Structure 1
Amino acid sequence: MNGAGPAPVRRGFADTRHGQVHYAEHGTGEPVLLLHQTPRSWDEYRDVLPLLGDGFRAIATDTLGFGESARPAGPWSVEMFATGVLDVCDDLGLDRVALVGHHTGAVTALEVAAAAPDRIRALVLSGMPFVDAGRRRRVARRAPVDHVVPAPDGSHLLGLWNNRAPYYPTDRPDLLDRLVRDGLGVLDRVEDGHLAVNRYRMEERIGLVRSPTLALCGEFDTFSLPDLTKITDAIPGARAAVLPGTGVPAVDHRPEQFAATVRAFLRGTHPCPEPPGEAPAGLAGPHPHHRP
């Protein structure tokens, strides 16, 4: 209908062995699953969904334990997060998907691609740390990223804000508003996603990835930028890209840039020809560490 405006984001729940997983989706076509960082939710991709939904079926999930998804008891692990993703695919009838993950979501996406390589058409790893024995030793001595102790006067809200403020742009307080809201929803386990990543034995799993892979990172993401070369060296044929002008919050800080980079890569791995004017500019070939 003329003048109807853009299609709304659709919401739903998928059944998994660990409980229901909440998701939001936009668009039609080949499915692309979007996995968020700790302690976020699908909301991290709120502005990316309609952009990727123009040409794909973009589905952003709340990782098990976060957002409106079920919260399994006991220790959380990357492997548990990954089984949840595969169960979502089964419940939605998705045989093969492209996976896009950011930070914790990227580590989860890598495990999915390692565990079920025949089901992953393409893989985008955004801001992913390379988790090996050396990193596990380093982070064991590092202060928690998001941990705060609830206080009667509400000062823990400011603590959660201040923990992340150094890594977020000063002119975008709305991004920290959204992170704090998500963090409060999982406050008693706000570090468990990070702990799961820090226990993961990526060095034993990354070599199992067989799908076309793009490793990307914001230029100011000091947590993950140094690991781009390790990632592309470990995954045959992987490409790398650095997103200028952004850092840890690359997804929701620069959604147009993030979506354009992902879309160009996914279309480049698709058998259909690349639309005119949308060549994947800025994507490096196999194995280089491309800097702007």
Structure 2
Amino acid sequence: MNKPIKRAFLDTEDGQILYRIGGEGKPLVLLHQNFRSSDEFRELIPIFSQKRLVIAMDFLGLGDSDKPPRMYSIEDYAKTVILLIDELGIKTTSILGNHTGACVAAEVAAAYPERVEKIILCNIDNFNEEGKAALINKFENLKIQPDGSHLIKRWSARAAYIGSAELNHRWVLDDLKGFGYPWYAPLAVIDYCQRMEARFRLIKSPTLILSGTEDIKQLEKLGFANANNREFILAAIPHAKMIDIEGGTICMMNQIPEEISKVAIEFLEENLVNAI
């Protein structure tokens, strides 16, 4: 019988980090995207925990973790992953990250190769200059409005593809926890794009790339990125395997957990030799 999924806090010099933990076996760390939290993996944790010890953290500045006293870089977020697994007595782990979480997962693999078994990078992009400008403009406009109009705007932002009011509610709750504060993780991603390819070339661990076909269409529509942006990963990590998730949106961790978990578990259980 699997251990129940619990929540706990890790104390750091920049504040407390909330994390969820459950299951037993070889560890798997789950890293969420911008404006989300470990709640992004609410559907996946019970599936993965049948086979693994699963840990999902809220990045500092997001979810129920504290707001850090300074702007964080992707490298800083990678260090918090190491702090957490050190606290839990974990020497090596596999990591699955989505969007921002994928950048952090990649950086952990690049900076701490001896701590990483395998990585799964989901919906990762290297934004061009136009995309960076569009992202910054969007973040600067996400402010608390006296008339509460920001609430309906955030509700409407994903209504066309999120699939359910309950799931949209969860996303909006995470959105609003970041309002009134600096956009820590989004700005970290924009900054990381300048050195992303060089950092990815340092990755030696077995790597799986999952790309949602509807996710990239939405990013193209918003002017943030295009499908070709994801091709650089295969050049930077030539041993990586890429799989398109047909119909996968930005919300695919919540919407199709059975499909995501099946592909992920198959990869994690393959007997691949670390190419260091």
Normalised-by-shorter TM-score class: 0.7 to 0.9
Higher relative contact order (CA 8 A, sep 6+): 2
The answer to whether the 8 Å contact 1:97/1:121 transfers is yes
Structure 1 residue 215 corresponds to structure 2 residue 217: no
Question: Alpha-carbon deviation of 1:73?
Answer: 1.3
Paired position in structure 1 for 2:222 = none
TM-score (norm. length: structure 2): 0.88
Would you say 1:150 and 2:144 are equivalent positions?
Answer: yes
Listed one character per residue, the Cα deviations across residues 37-94 of structure 1 (whole Å, up to 9, x for unaligned) are: 0100110000100100111111111111112212211222111111111111111111
Name the aligned partner's letter for residue 174 of structure 2: D
1:118-172 deviation line (CA, Å, top 9, x unaligned): 11000000001125xxx14541245315842212332211112223335x33x32
Superposed CA RMSD: 2.1
1:11–1:22: 8 Å Cα contact kept in structure 2? yes
Normalized per residue, which structure has more helix?
Answer: 2
Aligned residue for 1:113? 109
Q: Distance in 1 between matches of 2:214 and 2:139?
A: 17
TM-score (norm 1): 0.83
What are the within-5 Å matches in structure 2 for residues 1-292 of structure 1? 7-131=3-127, 135-136=128-129, 138-142=131-135, 143-144=137-138, 147-166=141-160, 168-169=161-162, 171-189=163-181, 191-200=183-192, 201-222=195-216, 223=219, 225-269=227-271
Contact 1:47 1:252 in 2 (8 A): yes
Alpha-carbon shift at residue 183 of structure 1 (Å)? 1.1
Partner of 1:165: helix, strand, or coil?
Answer: coil
Per the alignment, do residues 192 and 147 of structure 1 end up closer, same or farther by CA in structure 2, a change over 3 Å counting? farther
Structure 2 CA distance, aligned partners of 1:239 and 1:270?
12
User: Alignment length, in residue pairs?
Assistant: 262
- 8 Å CA contact 1:121–1:211 kept in 2: the answer is yes
The more displaced of 228-237 and 249-258 is 228-237
Identity %: 35
Aligned to 1:279: none
